[in-house]
Amino acid sequence: MRVTAPFGRRRVTLTSADDVGAYRVLHAADPDGPLPWPGQFYMLASAERWGAGHDERPFLPRALSFLAATDGRLSFMLEDVGPGTRRLCELGAGDELWLTGPLGSGFTLPDDEATAARAILAGGGVGVPPLAAWAAALAGSGLAVEALLGFRDAEHAEGARLLASVDVRVATDDGSVGHHGLVTELLAAELDRDAAATVYACGPPAMLEAVRALCNERGVGAQLALEAGMACGFGACFGCVVPVRDDGYVRACVEGAVFDAGRLEGVPAH
């Protein structure tokens, strides 16, 4: 599913910003933007002082899936992991963003009756936003929805609170909350118990690669929202390519960023 973006970037104002555990959540007023589809993303840059940070960066806008969207309001969740996210994390109410989007294509409902009854949202870390947006969209759809989310530690696991409407099980690397181990261990056990499901996943590349492999092994349909380094988000730079079966490289920004796991040769490490 793809909602077309207004042409060009637009200047929007943050109405508020909160800290949720290790993450920052930005809320922006976007009166001129359309309602996006879960899994779509936006290119964000601070309207002021974008640049002149660490290593004289950032320079390019950053791609972020939206966390929530209602009636002219958009929310994003991010973590300070580099010069771009650091600058965005500094912003608060009244600060302005340059915004382009929504871009890419989002998640789709399962079309196979055997797997259409149950959706498993699997992911973690900064992969939470598209899963939270999809969980909100699926509420009331009749699908049984459960979420399996992995985080580094308890502070990061606070991010699980952003999936309000569904049953969430958490795994942490340090065992401080929930399952001590990888979220993919929870997913494998869940699919071994009952493989009739569609998996929707977003998270770090290594985790997505593990989700891809274990779903493909079991013949379980999965849609993966990929993160790929991109300069533009609308197909201009050809930077964000991923290898797909029988078709070489395709751009994550226009062909994805959500891909059927069966189409991918693998999830790139960067």
Partner 1 sequence: MIGFCGLTLAHPIVNGSGTFDAIAAQRAFGDALIQDFPFSAFVSKTITLAPRDGNPPPRLWETPAGMINSIGLPNRGLEGYLEHDLPLLARLPVPLITNVMGSTAEEVSRLVEAIGERDEIAAIELNVSCPNVSTGLDIGANPESLGALVRAVRPLTGKPLIVKLTPNTADVANVAVAAENEGADAVSLINTLRATAFDPGQRDTPRPWLGGGTGGLSGPAIRGVALAQVASVAQRVGIPIIGMGGVGTGEHAYDLLSAGAKLVAVGTENFRDPAAGSRIAAELKSLQIAETPSTSVKMAQAQVEVDMNSSD
Q: Which residues bind partner 1 (CB under 8 A)?
A: 2, 4-9, 45, 51, 55-61, 98, 100, 103, 228-242, 248-249, 251, 254, 268, 270
CA pair distance 242, 239, nearest whole angstrom: 9
Answer whether 20's CB lies under 8 Å from 97's CB: no
* 138 vs 267, beta carbon nearer partner 1: 267
CA nearest neighbour of 17 among 97, 75, 82: 75
Question: Smallest distance from the beta carbon of 57 to partner 1, in angstroms?
Answer: 6
* 21 vs 204, beta carbon nearer partner 1: 204
Q: How many CB atoms lie within 10 A of CB 165?
A: 14
Question: Smallest distance from the beta carbon of 18 to partner 1, in angstroms?
Answer: 27
* 102 vs 178, beta carbon nearer partner 1: 102
Question: Smallest distance from the beta carbon of 260 to partner 1, in angstroms?
Answer: 18
* 6 vs 21, beta carbon nearer partner 1: 6
Question: Smallest distance from the beta carbon of 175 to partner 1, in angstroms?
Answer: 26
CA nearest neighbour of 75 among 128, 26, 142: 26
* 5 vs 147, beta carbon nearer partner 1: 5
Half-sphere exposure in the Cβ direction for 86 (13 Å, CA) = 13
Residue type, 179: H
* 21 vs 235, beta carbon nearer partner 1: 235
Question: Smallest distance from the beta carbon of 226 to partner 1, in angstroms?
Answer: 11
Question: Smallest distance from the beta carbon of 254 to partner 1, in angstroms?
Answer: 5
CA pair distance 153, 168, nearest whole angstrom: 16
DSSP β-ladder status, 167-172 and 179-180 = parallel
Question: Smallest distance from the beta carbon of 169 to partner 1, in angstroms?
Answer: 31
Burial degree of 214 (CB within 10 A; 0-12, 13-18, 19+) = buried
* 57 vs 86, beta carbon nearer partner 1: 57
For 195-210, give one letter per residue: b (16+ CB within 10 A) or e. eebbbbbbbbeebbbb
